[in-house]
Amino acid sequence: KQEVTQIPAALSVPEGENLVLNCSFTDSAIYNLQWFRQDPGKGLTSLLLIQSSQREQTSGRLNASLDKSSGRSTLYIAASQPGDSATYLCAVNSSYKLIFGSGTRLLVRP
């Protein structure tokens, strides 16, 4: 059974810092991995999708990496801003459905 873990559960950083969010999964037989952002009381916004054959994806200040063999992904946020404050979720697609981690709650302090 696929299990997804995210650490840390919460993170508070000053504005401008670079930071890394971690995601690990137990079954390396995945099709893809997707990172989402969730603002309080809102739905999920897709940030990056990494196919199983890819090592990383970049979008603006965000960079996600995938090491399928070790069951790990990281989301790197460069030059963090207060507007980046949200919960970040990673989800693994092992067949047709996404299995989610419990998220990292990020606060970027001005």
Partner 1 sequence: GAGVSQSPSNKVTEKGKDVELRCDPISGHTALYWYRQSLGQGLEFLIYFQGNSAPDKSGLPSDRFSAERTGGSVSTLTIQRTQQEDSAVYLCASSSAGQVNTEAFFGQGTRLTVV
C-alpha distances in angstroms, 32 versus 14, 72, 104?
32, 12, 20
C-alpha distances in angstroms, 98 versus 11, 93, 109?
24, 5, 31
Residue 23's nearest CA partner among 35, 11, 37, 13 is 35
- Judged by CB under 8 A, does residue 102 bind partner 1? yes
- Residues 26-65, mask of contacts with partner 1 (x by CB under 8 A): -----xx-x-x----xxxxxx--x-xx-------------
Q: How far apart are CB 16 and partner 1 at their closest, in Å?
A: 30
- Judged by CB under 8 A, does residue 101 bind partner 1? yes
Rule CB under 8 A: which residues touch partner 1?
31-32, 34, 36, 41-46, 49, 51-52, 89, 91, 93, 95-103
